[in-house]
Amino acid sequence: MKLADKVKFITSTLEDLYPEPDIPLNHKNNFTFLVAVMLSAQSTDKKVNEITPKLFQIANTAKEMNELEMDEIKEIIREIGLAPTKAKNIKKMSKQLLENHNGEVPNTFEELEELAGVGHKTASVIISQAFNKPAFPVDTHIHRLAFRWGLSSGKNVITTEKDLKQIFEEKLWNKLHLQIIFYGRQWCQARKKKCGCTICTEIQKT
């Protein structure tokens, strides 16, 4: 299958399955969304959504979060992977927002990546989903599927992001990010050595 045909088939299949994909992390505003994305690293969205209601009931702004002791945050999120580190980063990030951004989440990669615990992938999610600016966050699902579908070499997430941005139209990036994640979770899981999902089957024909 030629690359152009592959891209057309993938995008049309995903559009049929997930025409209006919702953000899977529950949040109240851009600040709580940033916290939820930070918590989701090496954890599941399901677990994050179980933990955050209690946290956000107590603190859903940078000011309120900064007023909590780090141990309070850590206790609430204790069931999340890397809880001590994440609690430390959330506390520090909240203070940085207050000191440098009037408590508001910034909308540039440079400013986001200066925040504690915020790497390129987290910044990409915020840029694309909170501010609707073009970005293509690459998580483990997207990295895996891009390799399975022959869209990238699978070398690393940086290469995968670069390859996908070259292959797909910029206007599709934000939506595709969610669509591919949902597809990977539902149909094209990592445990399958040879996947028989719709997209893999079609691609493997040629």
pLDDT at 141 over 90: no
Residue range 20-74, pLDDT digits in tens: 999 999 999 999 999 999 999 989 999 999 999 999 999 999 999 999 999 999 9
Q: Which residues carry out catalysis?
A: 121, 139
DSSP 77: T
Residue in 117, 35, 105 with CA at minimum distance from that of residue 77: 35
Mean per-residue pLDDT for 184-199?
87
Instruction: Write down the mean pLDDT value for the chain.
Output: 95
Tell me the two tokens of residue 46.
Answer: 């399901």
pLDDT band of residue 140 (cuts 50, 70, 90) is: confident
pLDDT-based confidence at 90, cuts 50/70/90? very high
Q: pLDDT band at 206, cuts 50/70/90?
A: low
Q: pTM here?
A: 0.93
Q: How confident is the model at residue 189 (pLDDT cuts 50, 70, 90)?
A: confident
Given a cut of 90, is residue 89 above it in pLDDT? yes
Contact 110, 92 (CB under 8 A): no
Q: Which residues, including other chains, have CB under 8 Å from residue 30's CB and lie 6 or more apart?
A: 104, 105, 126, 130
Structure tokens at 77: 């999120």
Q: Are 134 and 174 in contact (CB under 8 A)?
A: yes
The single residue listed with the structure tokens 């990036």 is 173
Predicted confidence (pLDDT) per residue in 154-169, tens digit = 889 999 999 999 999 9
User: Could you tell me if 144 and 191 are in contact, meaning their C-beta atoms sit under 8 angstroms apart?
Assistant: no
Residue 155 is predicted with a pLDDT of 87
- Please compute the mean of the pLDDT values over residues 9-30 and round it to a whole number: 97
